[in-house]
Each structure stands twice: as C-alpha cells, then as structure tokens.
C-alpha cells in the first residue's frame, strides 16, 4: 500500500494483503461516562486506557472547568478526584463540547441539577444537532433550559435547581438521552423511571450499578433513585465501534486475516458482529472475560464471501454508528441489502445517509438513498476516486477501508477528522497493510 499524508488529504492504494493484530482505542462511550461519574463520586479513581479522542477530552475539559480535579498520567490513564454530590462549581466561562454530542447531552443532564448558571456550546456541526429531545424531559424534572432555534439547538443556557423524579418514555432509543436523564435523576427528589422503545447501549447503567447507585433494570425500563456514588478504578475496554472498521476490512479484502485485541463486546453494542456473521463473515470471538462489569474479548476475522441482508427494527440502535460500514460491506456482497428504520443517521455529525450514498457512489457502488436508510446492490469491485469525509470521523474511516479494496488510488479529503475518535487509525491501517 502506498500512503502519503499531505495536510488534510489521505492517499491510499489497495494492499496485497491485510494481516496482523491491532488494539482499538479505549471505548469512547465508556470513557465519557467514567470521567463524569467518577467526577461526581466520592473518592479517587484511576481510569486506564481512557480514549485519546477529541470528544472525550472535551468532556474532561468541561469537568475541569466545573472544579473536578483530573490529572493525566502515563499510559493513557487519568486520575480523577470526585467532588461528591454538591462539589461542582459554576464555570468561569462558557463550556465547550467541541464536536461531541455525548458531552453536550450528558453534561446537560448533570448541569440541570446544579444551583448555578451554565452555558454550553460546541462547533458548527454540534450546534446544528437536535437538543430538544434532552431539553423537554429535563424541563419536566424542573430544570430551566433555553437554546437556539426555539430551544432545539445549542448553545444551551442551563439554570439548574432542585429536580423531581419523573416517569418518562423516550421518543427514540438513545443512550445519550437516557444517560442525561439518569445523571439528572441522581440529584432528583423521588424515583425516576425511564422506558426505552428498544434497548440502547447500557454502559451508564452498568457503571452506575458498580458505583453503588440505586438502580434497577427490568426489560426496557430503568428505575433510579437519588444516591451517592463511590469512585471506582476502571480499565476501559477497546472500542467495538473502532474495531468494526477492521472487522469489515478483514471480511471484504480478498487476502486478510486480522485479530483485534481487548475489545468490548457489550451486547447492546455488538450488532455489527451479528450483522457481519449473518452476511457470511468468518468472524470468531475468543478469550471472553469480564472487566469492570463490561464483557471483553479478542475478535478475529478473515476474508469472507458476503451476501446481502435486510437490516431494520430493534437491531438498528445496536449498529447505528456502523451503518456506513455495513453499506460498504454490502457494496461488494452478493445480492441486495436493504437498510431501513435508520433515520437517526440524518442528524449525526453530518447526514450520514446522504453522505454515505454520495461517497460510495463515487467509488462505483450501486447504492440508492431511502428516507430512513439505503438500498445497496453488490458489485464485483470498487474503483479508486477522490472522496470527502464531510468532516465526519466515521465516514473518513469507512472510506479508508473502502480504499483497501478499490482498484487504483483513492484520495480522502479532510482525513484528519479521524482524531475525533481514533487518532491512530491511519497508522494502524498502514501496519495491517502488506505490500
């Protein structure tokens, strides 16, 4: 593989083979939650393998501005000294969530319970994303929150105060929204019950339970009461959403065998494994074990003969971040793949349905856009072209994987955006590629 890094452009040619082992970065979702929950707990914690991503550092920056002592140690480890239930202080300036919707939504839940004024904003992309779904239930709990566009967009102005528990059914299956309400409920009078339309990732519930919260899960309903948290040391599992790029790469490249170490396989996140296996991928799970309440394993994948499938309904929340990758795999699979019920993709960092269709089409994929998904008819090969990440980290990495099987050279503009979630992505791609 020939690869040249020039400013904002990544240049890739398909390698002869893909072989080797890789360790994905620490899980972003778990890293966010480990920082926030330990920050409001009693005691001191060490969080190792903390995700070295711009998103997670935005959360750390917000917590520091609110008075939480967080020290960076060697080996991607943070030392966090919790401030307890009433130790947060008013920030001296506007809080900046950068590009991270997780930061903004979870911090909104936390700040809604505080007695001081907070203003939180983000970059242009984040300021365009919907926040009304967080504002509405927090107002029902007693918080005062305002935002742009008739209280639906950031910046958000939050005047917290005494909250009360509520019984609330989420309009969509969203781990961010659920987690925001769980954080607010930790400081609310009375019980809170949150019901999901279908299961979303449950890292918050697992971590709250490990830290001593009064939380119960029954089916799609989560009940929680006010309570104190105890800080816990945590080793963050490798991010399955990041590992997914190598799972797809290994499945679609004609000469590949990749092993991915130390990867979280939380069942609310592992939809990509189920989908790829259903498409015919030769994918194995090895060395399963539990660490800090989260299941981990090594994953191995090799060149496979994939076929089309249909993806909709309850599995969508488990694969929502991986759908552009699934579309890539479907582009070179036998037969037709139909993806529906994925309208949430239109309000991510970019409109991921439109952007995925546009960029894969440039590479020769036979793909059409649906209002809530895509239809993909497999082709025999992709061809190199000039593509654009649309400043979306997951699209940049998906295009990087596509380039590994495309004839000729592929150029990816705005490729530096991978730093948002996987800063070493291009280096790991290089290490796996055999010339």
Please tell me whether residue 186 adopts helix, strand or coil conformation: coil
What does the alpha-carbon distance between residue 435 and residue 430 come to, in Å, rounded to a whole number? 10
Pick from 139, 83, 89, 82: nearest CA to 116: 89
Closest CA to 266 of 235, 292, 240: 240
Q: Give the phi and the psi of residue 300 in degrees, each rounded to 5.
A: -125, 145
Reported as type and span, the H/E element at residue 35 is helix 28-39
List beta partners, residue 386.
Answer: 411
C-beta neighbour count of 6 within 10 angstroms: 9
Q: Is 69 helix (H, G, I), strand (E, B) or coil?
A: strand
Determine the longest span between alpha carbons in the chain, in angstroms. 62
* Beta carbons of 354 and 396 less than 8 angstroms apart: no
Tokens found for residue 184: 């607010």
- Token output for 362: 């440039």
Phi, psi values for residue 93, rounded to 5° = -140, 180
The residues, any chain, with a CB within 8 Å of residue 138's CB and separated by 6 or more, are 108, 109, 112, 145, 180, 181, 184
CA 156 to chain centroid: 22
Q: 118: burial class by Cβ within 10 Å (0-12, 13-18, 19+)? A: buried
* 321 assigned to active site: yes
Residue pair 234/48 in contact (Cβ under 8 Å)? The answer is yes
CB of 373 closer than 8 Å to CB of 367: no
Active site residue: 27, 55, 321, 413, which one?
321
Strand pairing category for 192-195 and 167-169: parallel
Q: Can you read off the two tokens belonging to residue 326?
A: 């699934």
Pairing of strands 17-22, 433-434: antiparallel
Please give the positions annotated as active site.
Answer: 321
């Amino acid at each position: 593989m020939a690869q040249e890094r020039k400013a904002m452009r990544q240049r890739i040619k398909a390698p002869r083979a893909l072989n080797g082992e890789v360790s994905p970065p620490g899980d972003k979702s778990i890293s966010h939650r480990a920082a926030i929950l330990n920050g409001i707990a009693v005691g001191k914690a060490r969080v190792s393998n903390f995700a070295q991503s711009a998103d997670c550092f935005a959360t750390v920056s917000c917590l520091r501005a609110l008075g939480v002592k967080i020290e960076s140690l060697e080996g991607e480890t943070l030392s966090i000294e919790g401030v307890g239930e009433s130790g947060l202080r008013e920030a001296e300036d506007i809080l900046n969530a950068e590009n991270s919707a997780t930061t903004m939504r979870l911090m909104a839940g936390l700040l809604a319970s505080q007695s001081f004024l907070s203003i939180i904003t983000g970059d242009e992309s984040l300021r365009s994303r919907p926040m009304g779904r967080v504002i509405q239930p927090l107002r029902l709990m007693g918080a005062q929150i305002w935002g742009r566009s008739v209280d639906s967009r950031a910046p958000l102005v939050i005047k917290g105060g005494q909250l009360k528990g509520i019984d609330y059914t989420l309009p969509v299956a969203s781990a961010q929204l659920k987690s925001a309400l769980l954080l607010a409920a930790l400081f609310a009078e009375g019980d809170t019950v949150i019901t999901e339309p279908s299961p979303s990732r449950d890292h918050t519930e697992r971590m709250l339970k490990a830290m001593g919260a009064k939380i119960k899960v029954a089916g799609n309903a989560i009940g929680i009461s006010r309570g104190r948290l105890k800080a816990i040391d945590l080793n963050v599992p490798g991010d399955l959403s990041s590992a997914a790029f190598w799972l797809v790469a290994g499945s679609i490249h004609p000469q590949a065998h990749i092993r991915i170490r130390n990867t979280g396989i939380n069942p609310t996140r592992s939809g990509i494994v189920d989908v790829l296996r259903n498409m015919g991928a030769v994918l194995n799970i090895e060395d399963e074990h539990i660490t800090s309440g989260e299941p981990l394993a090594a994953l191995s994948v090799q060149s496979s003969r994939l076929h089309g499938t249909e993806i909709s309904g309850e599995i969508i929340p488990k694969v929502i971040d991986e759908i552009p990758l699934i579309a890539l795999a479907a582009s070179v699979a036998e037969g037709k793949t139909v993806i529906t019920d994925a309208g949430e993709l239109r309000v991510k960092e970019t409109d991921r349905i439109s952007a995925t269709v546009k960029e894969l089409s440039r590479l020769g994929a036979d793909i059409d856009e649906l209002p809530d998904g895509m239809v993909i008819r497999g082709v025999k090969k992709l061809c190199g072209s000039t593509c654009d990440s649309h400043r979306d980290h997951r699209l940049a990495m998906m295009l990087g994987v596509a380039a590994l099987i495309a004839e000729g050279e592929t150029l990816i503009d705005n490729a530096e955006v991978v730093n948002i979630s996987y800063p070493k992505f291009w280096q790991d791609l290089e290490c796996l590629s055999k010339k």
